Amino acid sequence: MSYLIKDTTKQERIELIRSWVPEDEVMDGCDIDLWEMYRDYIDGKREIAEINAAFNQGFYEESDLR
């Protein structure tokens, strides 16, 4: 199944993100709000890969810090 914006409806994109949100309190205390993080995807503005790439730019490998 393709998760590209062109291949999904807004409702399907919402359901996909909903499937990623843990039902328990695993993410309590975490600063990441998946609904906000993927808002542009849900609204059909940016693909998941674009959002993930932008998010990952802020992370460094331990070797980068030496």
Is the model's pLDDT at 26 over the cut of 60? no
φ, ψ of residue 41 in degrees (nearest 5): -70, -50
Secondary structure letter of residue 6 according to DSSP: G
What's the pLDDT band for 28 if we cut at 50, 70, 90? low
- The predicted pLDDT at position 55 comes to 84
Name 38's Cβ contacts closer than 8 Å, sequence gap at least 6: 17, 48, 51
Q: What is the pTM assigned to this prediction?
A: 0.74
Tell me the CB-side half-sphere exposure of residue 40, using CA atoms within 13 A.
Answer: 11
Higher pLDDT, 14 or 28: 14
